[in-house]
Each structure stands twice: as structure tokens, then as C-alpha cells.
Structure 1
Amino acid sequence: MTDLQVVANFEELVSNLEPEVAASIMTCIENALDYQQKALSIYSILLSGQLVKPKMEKKKTIAVSENVGVVSGWNSLNPKWTVFIAENNGILLVQNETLITEFYQNRIEEFKRYGYETKKWDLDSELNPGRHYRSHAEKQISVIKPCNSIGVSKGICEEDCYPYLCALAQIRKQHIVVADPNGVFLFYSNGQVKFVYHKNKSK
């Protein structure tokens, strides 16, 4: 990941910001860490198949913001999962690849201005190039539930979601915090990105 600055702790993430902004981002960090644990919990439940069937594919990713969770992909959200997770985890599971596609297409020139263009995957159809990467949970949640804090069940997609979020923070002129199993990313509204490893992760 280019232009990524690794820092030692959360305080260093906000050391260059005004106190009020720094305090707000620290709250966003706490929220993102909470959402990441919720994403992990949902992922474990759906992957095991012990509490609700059918079992989810291992390659799927869960992203959570506030009370909404996204399963990566399209046309693969089983209604049984939605009911179980809503009743037992208090999270509304959704999937809307069309929404992120429309969002991106309506702002494609802005994204290009900040150095982002959706990558094409080898198995994308000719009629819908870029669909695979656009369907990633990180992207869907950013549009379905716009929020400064996102939690993800797997390591952030470096190839496409990282540059997407970097551009999105600049387009929205808002800092975005993403927590994944490795650590916490802070995408600044000026295009800078910093990262802190979780304490139990080696550098």
C-alpha cells in the first residue's frame, strides 16, 4: 500500500490535528474497533454453519457500520442469515452491489481526480467490468451506511478498497477510520493515510 505511514499508537494518528477534531476521531476509532468485533462475530457465526444454515463461503467478508452489516458480493445473502443476525446480533445484514456501482459511476471523475479507478478482475463480465471489486464489503458499507467508522472481518483489500477509501475521504472531505484484524487505518480528508497495528500483531 503506497503512501501508508505506520505509527506506534492511536495518539500518533491524531497528533497533527486540532484537539476537537482529534477527540472526534478517537471516538471514531473506538467505534470502528467495536464494529470490527461485531463483523468478526457475524463472520464466525455464518462461516461455522452451527447456529444458522446454510454455511457462508469462507471467501466472504463482513463489514459493519453502526447497526448495518454487509456481506461481500451480490445475490448471495441468504434470508435465514438476515433473520438470525438481526434477532441475535442486532445487526441488519444487507447486500447492494448496484448501489455502490451507481455511486461510483456518478462520481467517476472525482475518483479519478484523486487517483482511483476501479480495477478489473479477470472473471468480470465484459458487460460489467469492475463488478468483483465494487462488490467488496468495504465499498458497499461506505455507501449503504455512510459513516466515519467501519469494521471489517478480514484484512482490508489492498488492491482496490484501500485506494477507494483514500479517494472517498477526500471526496467527502471527512476522515474515515477502518479497523480490520491487523489494525486501524485512518484515511485523512487530505489524502494522507496512517495505520496502527493491534497490540497483538507484529510489524
Structure 2
Amino acid sequence: MPDLEVVAKIEDLVKNTEPTIATEIMAYVKVAQDYQKKAEKVYEILTSGKLVKPKMSSRKTIAVSENTAIVSGWDSLNLKWQKTIAEQLHLSLKQDESQVKEFYQAHQTEFAQYGYQTRTWELDPEEEPGKHYRSHAEKQISVIKPSPAIGISRAMCEEDCYPYFHALAQMRKQNLVVADPEGVWVFYNNDRVKLFRRIKTT
């Protein structure tokens, strides 16, 4: 796993990068930031209980890419949530455990080549190690709606999602950008990882 390079300015995410690639990545950054705002809006709608009941647990994470939003977890979607988000934000709210599981099984060897194996959790079923961490919204959307730009409603899981995206960028030979409330991550397809962390104001 490479050392994470934390940068002070957002433009430093592409410092010393070939100009054409830098321009492409900064475009992904802007898109990912827009998706991040949408993810927060989905979270706000589903947890407030004002527009749709029953309200979603505040422990959930939302990921957005293109016209799709993902709720973290398995088997926790509600038809009322899907209808409301489609009407209010024109996003398709999804979860797909079988698709995500099949993806991991199909690419397990490739992930291992880049040093990644899904972490296990103490409450995982004995026959399905890694089930909990596979349910993270940012991982689900990378499979269900593959895109170079993703936005999520809470800080990215560094213990498992960070090494996952590091490996995925190299597997797909594609630079990936993930924006969360705390900053923007760039996973280069050549093993580098950079993070612009927002300065918190009081």
C-alpha cells in the first residue's frame, strides 16, 4: 500500500501530472464534488422523515454516481425511499448484493495482485467473510454504476475502502476520484493516492 500524499490545495491533486491527464482528473473532481452534494441531499431527505417515512437510519451512507444512488448495507431498501428520491432528485436508489458479490468473486485474484483482500468483521456470517465491508456504499456503486467520479455522504472508510479503490484504479487502468464531506481522494492508476482535505471552519 503506498503512502497517502495529503495536499494543501485542490489543484495539487494533479501536480506533476501530464497536462491532458491533469485536466481530465480535475474535471472528475468537479463532477465528484457535485455527486457528493447530491449524496448529502439524499441522506438528508431519507433521515429527516419529513418527506418519507419510515426514515432511514442515521448510520447509513449514501454514494452517488451519474443517475444512481446507493444506500449502504444489504436488504435495507424501502420502496417509499426509492419513489421519493426518484421524484425529488431524479436518482435511482439501489442495492445489489448478488452483483457486488459476483464481482468480488470474479476479480479476487486481481485484487490480491494489488494487495487487497476484503476485511472481515466479527459479525460476518461464517460462510461469507467480508460481507459487511462489501456493503459499503462507495464499494457498491463502483460495481453497480462504474464511473471515474463518485460522491459520498460521509467520510470514506479508510481501513477497507481506501485499499479497495487503490487496487481498483490499477485493475481498471483508470484514475478514480472519490469526494466525501472531508475532502477529495484521487486514486491514480499508477499506484499513487492523493488526498485534498478540507479545512474545517468553526
Secondary structure, counterpart of 2:5 in structure 1: strand
Amino acid at match of 2:31: N
Match of 1:27 in 2: 27
The number of residues matched between the two structures is: 202
Q: CA RMSD in A?
A: 1.4
Secondary structure, counterpart of 1:31 in structure 2: helix
Superposition map of 1:42-191 within 5 A? 42-191=42-191
CA offsets 1:80-121 (integer angstroms, 9 cap, x no match): 000100111111100012211111111111101101000110
Identical columns (%): 57
Question: Does the 8 Å contact 1:182/1:201 carry over to 2?
Answer: no
Match of 1:4 in 2: 4
Structure 2 CA distance, aligned partners of 1:100 and 1:3? 28
Deviation at residue 199 of structure 1 after TM alignment: 4.3
Structure 2 CA distance, aligned partners of 1:153 and 1:127? 30
Secondary structure, counterpart of 2:119 in structure 1: coil
Deviation at residue 79 of structure 1 after TM alignment: 0.5
Structure 2 CA distance, aligned partners of 1:182 and 1:2? 21
Amino acid at match of 1:74: W
Secondary structure, counterpart of 1:125 in structure 2: coil
Secondary structure, counterpart of 1:107 in structure 2: helix
Deviation at residue 173 of structure 1 after TM alignment: 0.5
